[in-house]
Amino acid sequence: MKHARKLKLFFFILGLAILIYLVKKIGAGHVMDQIYKMGWRLPLILLFPAGMQQALFVYGWKFAFSGKSSPFQNLFQIHLLGEAFNYIIPGGQMGGEPLKALSLRKDLGGVQALGSVIAARTIKTISLAFFVMAGMLLTINNEHFSLEFKRGVMSAITLFFLLCVFLLLAQHRGLFGPMMRFVERRLFAIPARHKEKIVHFDDLDLGLREFYSSRKFKFFLSLIFFTIGWMVGFLEIYLILLFLGVEKATLSVALIIEVLSLIINTALFFIPGGVGTQEGGKIFIFNLLSIDPATGLALGLVRRLRELTWVAFGLLVFACRPAPGEKSTYGTTPH
């Protein structure tokens, strides 16, 4: 655990060093001139597309419940605080997921709450693979992509998609109960007072299997909402390009930037907060597309500011809500 913390700190410092180097190389003044072009439209970008995307992701989560759900307002608040901790806690965007389940436990029960979080995360990941693969297929003939680049990217996307399918099939067959028994048999003995919790993991497997087998309509609705949510991301890129005055601001270019950004961010998930990698990735992509790299860095910083804005909203929700594990005032809604 101590080594893991040191490794995370190392990657954070490395990412920060990359960011400082990039700003210094391109010129802070040049980058700020690019951002100033947005003027009054900057607050619009910080709030509007991201707010729509968050709402779509919450609807995707709402349809991932096998039984009774929770009202949209409650899920939206829990989603915001969970995503804020996903951003803050180094863990591949997973650090806030247990907090989401814990915040729903008193209203829905631990198994139902955790099952919905796992199903939603799985479907969201599958929708990401669909979106990235579709985006690359639509833009694969771009003149800036070499044949080796196309093959490498499509191979990586295909592998990622197959891993998503494997995860889905594993959950359908039962993943968590057998995994806990494997841990007990091969790694270390589970204390007697905790052994009854393995039964809860079997219940979790049953709930997930029931959802994937009997709630196919809800599964596809969830997949659709998550996929549309990812699409909002490339529309956000398009608006930023327009507001920055980029001549090549087209939907096709915006889609390329968003798809490649998602690939880079996913591949470098171990960098806490994506510090440096998001901005460096944008510069790489803009160089690839023969666009001013300062504009790429400006876009990366605008997105960073947008992320921090919504992290602040999530932390505000965390401060104002009852403590995780306490019953909320919203109750439940029927499935």
HEC assignment per residue over 140-160: CCCCCCCHHHHHHHHHHHHHH
223 pLDDT band, cuts 50/70/90, is: very high
Written as six digits, the tokens of 248 are 């090549």
Rounded to 10 deg, the angle between the 41-62 and 72-88 helix axes is: 110
Q: What is the pLDDT of residues 174-206, one digit of tens each?
A: 777 777 776 666 666 666 555 555 557 778 888
Q: Indicate the range of 65-74, 154-163, 190-199, 275-284 predicted with least confidence.
A: 190-199
Residue 281: what pLDDT? 86
Contacts of 286 (CB under 8 A, 6+ apart): 257, 292, 293, 295, 296, 299
pLDDT in tens, 266-318: 877 767 666 667 788 888 889 888 888 888 888 888 888 888 889 889 989 98
The pTM (predicted TM-score) of the whole model is 0.83
Backbone phi, then psi, for 94, in 5-degree steps? -120, -5
Mean pLDDT of 217-244: 94
Q: Could you give the CA distance from residue 230 to residue 223 in angstroms, rounded to a whole number?
A: 11
Give the pair of three-digit tokens for residue 307.
């992320």
What is the pLDDT of the chain when averaged over all its residues?
81
- Residue 325: the pLDDT is 59
Q: Read off the pLDDT band of 140 (50, 70, 90).
A: confident
